[in-house]
Structure 1
């Protein structure tokens, strides 16, 4: 039987995320997330003792810097381009 997490009176998102949580947070697989970190498109993690944790705020900043997708031909035609 697993232990239930303690209920918290204040609901808030965690600041530090595990690798899998960080990948899910930015919407990619863990393997793709590793590639993004290696390329420098996502931040490196912080270490707390033996734990490796990604800062949610740093993920937000890195995500904002990712390039926008190019418009496809159908979207361009709809916009009269």
Structure 2
């Protein structure tokens, strides 16, 4: 569905479609669906039968993605050792 005519061009929509949400986070729709399933992206909201995604929630999820070079899944074997 296209952009609402009543919405000024300088005002971004708050809720967007699945295709737009995938494009917003720079992934294919299949990858986006996978990321929703595994919790990296938020689940859809509902407007009647229509699924939409909140841009603010997408921003928050994108902010929480791992940063390249950070070892988020590394071995924390020594993490419970008190150095003091």
TM-score where L is the length of structure 2: 0.72
Report the number of matched residues. Answer: 67
- Report which of the two has the higher share of helix: 1
Query: Using a 3 Å threshold, how does the CA distance of structure 1 residues 9 and 18 change in structure 2: closer, same or farther?
Result: closer
* Aligned twin of 1:30: 29
Task: Give RMSD over aligned pairs.
Answer: 1.8
Task: Find the counterpart in structure 1 of residue 51 from structure 2.
Answer: 52
Spell out structure 1 runs of 4+ moving beyond 6 A. Answer: none
Q: Distance in 1 between matches of 2:21 and 2:54?
A: 8
Equivalents in 1 of 2:9, 2:67: separation in Å?
35
- Any stretches of 5+ residues in structure 1 without a counterpart? 72-81
Superposed CA deviations along residues 31-50 of structure 1, whole A, max 9, x for unmatched, are 00000000000000000101
1:59-70, aligned counterparts within 5 Å?
A: 59-70=58-69
TM-score norm. by structure 1 comes to 0.75
Structure 2, unaligned runs of 5 or more: 71-84
Shift of the 12–38 alpha-carbon distance from structure 1 to 2, 3 Å rule, reads: same
Distance in 1 (CA, whole Å) between partners of 2:34 and 2:8 is 37
